[in-house]
Chains A and B, each alone.
Chain A
Amino acid sequence: MTASPAWLYYAFGVVMIVVAAYGAVLLALGVSTRRPYGWDVDVAHAFMGVAMAGMFVSGWSLGPRDGWKLAFAGLAVWFLVRSARSIRRFGLHVPHESIHAVMSFAMLLMLWFVVAPVAGRSMSMGLASITRIDPGLTLVLAFLLLGSAVFTLASPVKGISHHGSRLQSAVRTTTGADAAPVLLSGIERVIAAPLLEDVSHVAMCIAMAFMLILMN
């Protein structure tokens, strides 16, 4: 199979680094303002961004593969538990944590089934020949991720991909905290803008869907 142009993988790699950096900044902001929600999504996005960048461009891969597997397995379990708790608390609905569980599971699958990249080449260039993952599963996951991207952008509630409004309102009622982080300066408010959070989620979903399709 002929490789896609290298710039495409580099472009996706750069976007993933940006998303990872943005997740890390949000996490730091959340810690400094003691924001009680959304930090788990920030951690997940930071991890996913770094790991995905390493999948798109082999020279950018960081850390041992087993470490990443462990991290994403932990995140998948964490978000599953959070989803179950949300359903138990608010009744039958699709919690926003569930898509993060799906994303963590997808990361785990990609790390599990893709062997180490060929030195000096983008990992994705050799994906088709080295994967054993069922393409039906990758298609379903890719469609779910793209659906999440579309429905997140269309949602009237901004920042829904990171916080969900049920969690926010619960936090408001139990702690009196406002939906937006308190005591933020102008630049911090821009950085933590709900729309930006959604855009980073959308970028992650598309990049991950692309990687999953490449595995077919």
Chain B
Amino acid sequence: MDLQERCRLVLATTWLLDAVLQLQPFFFARGASGFSGMLKGLTPGNPSWVAHTLTWNASIVGHDPIATNSVFALVQFLIGFGIVWRRTCKPALAFSMVWALGVWWFGEGAGGIFHGGASPLGGGPGGVLFYALLAVLLWPSEGSDLPFVAARALGISAAKKVWAMTWFVLAMLSVVGSGRSPQALAGFVAILDHGQPGWLASIDRSSESLLLHDGTAVAIALACCCVAIAVSVYLPTNLTRLFLVLAVLTFSAIWIAVQNAGGILAGGATDPNSGPLVILLTLAFWPLSEQPATARGSIMSVSLAATRSES
């Protein structure tokens, strides 16, 4: 089992988590307190042509929430299991891209990018887009995982361009629209802090106050950080690794302190939001240098042996 396959299996695990989350009682409920109500709640602020598609989707879900939600969960189970098996991996990944884009538009209101509410702090431009991006970058292909896993599917140059573009977009979204507004940023946390466990509510109070008083500064700092991470893949390997660690730490902190683990801990979330997927994306770009081949080989062989021999 190579590193690309392992990354794909982590992606498949996330799809299965989404499928299980979709089976929560909230999503089977009718009316405003159910899934359709949640979808309708995304319409304010969006242009009418986006809001209309959301309302259309909400009406379908509202008409028969049990059937539609069962189908949604089943599709995610199929994608998750499809990625696991080699024979069905490519169709499942291809379908996951289509599904992710559909969910992004009809279920997330295009991630809020049309009303300026797509700050990466809140999960912008939409956590589900990262599923599609990872499906492209982890597309099964022959060859080596060197110099980094994502290069295997697209080639080094194209993969680096995708990385840079992704992080430049995140940088831009950090400082446009409500991304640079202290009130809106504090609002991201305030919306999610109901029903959270005590330790997370305590972290929320700190991040709310930080974002309320220094939200603009935080947004600008995040944008600078994203730009540095974007260009880091063109720097010497050690510097690249340093910035990738920065990316993992930054998005781990954002995932906990701002995204509240995607709201899963309070119930009623369909996915873990962008944090874990950005971290997986970052790991797919981790430079695997050829120099310490012996050391890496021994680590790889130990972990491969462990995986082969034990579950």
Contact = CB atoms under 8 A, between A and B. Distances in A.
Contact of A216 (B267, B305, B309): B267
B310 A139 contact: no
B49 to A, nearest CB: 32
Contact of B309 (A3, A5, A152, A164): A164
A175 to B, nearest CB: 18
B10 interface: yes
Interface residues of A, number: 47
Nearest to A128: B267
Interface stretch (B80-88, B204-212, B219-227): B80-88
Contact of A155 (B17, B200, B311): B311
A139 B261 contact: yes
B1 A2 contact: no
Contacts of B21: 213
B199 A150 contact: no
Interface of A: 1-5, 8, 86, 90-96, 99, 125, 128, 134-136, 139, 142-143, 146-157, 160-161, 164-166, 201, 206, 209-210, 213-214, 216
A95 B307 CA distance: 9
B265 A150 contact: no
A216 B264 contact: yes
Interface string B243-279: 0000000000000000001001111000000000000
Given A210-B23, A213-B20, A136 B311 contact: no
Given A128-B267, A135-B265, A142-B20, A160 B28 contact: no
B27 to A, nearest CB: 8
Interface residues of B, number: 40
Nearest to A152: B311
Given A4-B28, A216-B264, A151 B20 contact: no
Contacts of A148: 311
Contact of A1 (B5, B25, B306, B310): B25
Contacts of B26: 1-2
Given A139-B261, A154-B1, A214-B24, A164 B16 contact: no
B265 A165 contact: no
Nearest to A207: B20
Given A4-B25, A142-B20, A216 B311 contact: no
B190 to A, nearest CB: 19
Given A2-B34, A210-B23, A136 B199 contact: yes
B12 interface: yes
Given A147-B10, A153-B85, A213-B20, 20 more contacts: A1-B26, A2-B26, A3-B28, A4-B24, A93-B302, A93-B306, A93-B310, A94-B306, A96-B311, A136-B200, A143-B13, A147-B9, A151-B307, A155-B308, A160-B310, A164-B311, A206-B16, A206-B20, A210-B23, A216-B264
B66 interface: yes
Given A128-B267, A146-B17, A154-B84, A86 B23 contact: no
Contacts of A4: 23-25, 28
B9 A151 contact: yes
A173 to B, nearest CB: 14
A213 B27 CA distance: 13
Nearest to A100: B311
B310 A86 contact: yes
List the 4 shortest-distance A-B pairs measured between CB atoms, nearest first. Answer: A93-B306, A2-B29, A135-B265, A96-B311
